[in-house]
Amino acid sequence: MQTVKLTKSAIIVNAIGAGIAMAFSVAAVIDPTLAVTGGADSPSVDMYAQAYAARAIPLGAALLFSLTSRHKRGLLPLLTVSGAVQLGDAAIGATQGIPGMMVGGTVLALIHLATAGQLVLGRNRGAAVTV
C-alpha cells in the first residue's frame, strides 16, 4: 500500500484544530450561551450545544487518532468530512450572525481540506514515504 508524507506541522495544526472544535463543544455543553449570540438560554439552545458535542467529540477523537496513528489509511476521508463539517459550521455561523463560528469554521475547514488536498496530490504523484 502506498503511503504519503504528511509534514509534522500539518499533523500538529490539524490536531490543534480538532482539539479546539472538541473543546468548544464541551464548553458549549457546560454553558450553552457560548454557542449563540445574545446569550439566550433555552431548551433549544441546550439541545443545539448537545448535538454539536455529539458530533464534534467523536469526529475530533477519530481525527486525532488517525493523525497520530502509524498507519494513516483513514486520514483522507476523516480530513474531508471534518472539512465539510467545518464548512457547515461556518455557513451556520454566517446565517445566524455568530462571527466566531463563521471565522473558526472557515479556518478549520481550510486547514482540514488543504491537508486532504496535500494527501491526494501526494498519492497522485506516487509518493511512498511516511511521517
Closest CA to 106 of 123, 91, 128, 96: 91
- pLDDT value, residue 5: 74
- Domain total of the chain: 1
Residue 13 cell numbers, joined: 495544526
Answer whether 45's CB lies under 8 Å from 32's CB: yes
**15 vs 4, which has greater pLDDT?**
15
What are the tens digits of pLDDT across the range 26-73?
A: 998 998 877 776 656 677 788 888 999 999 999 999 999 999 998 888
Q: Does residue 2 belong to any structural domain of this protein?
A: no
Q: Does residue 108 belong to any structural domain of this protein?
A: yes
- pLDDT value, residue 125: 67
Contacts of 90 (CB under 8 A, 6+ apart): 101, 102, 103, 104, 105, 106, 109
Task: Evaluate if residue 131 carries a pLDDT over 50.
Answer: no
Q: Does residue 43 belong to any structural domain of this protein?
A: yes
pTM: 0.84
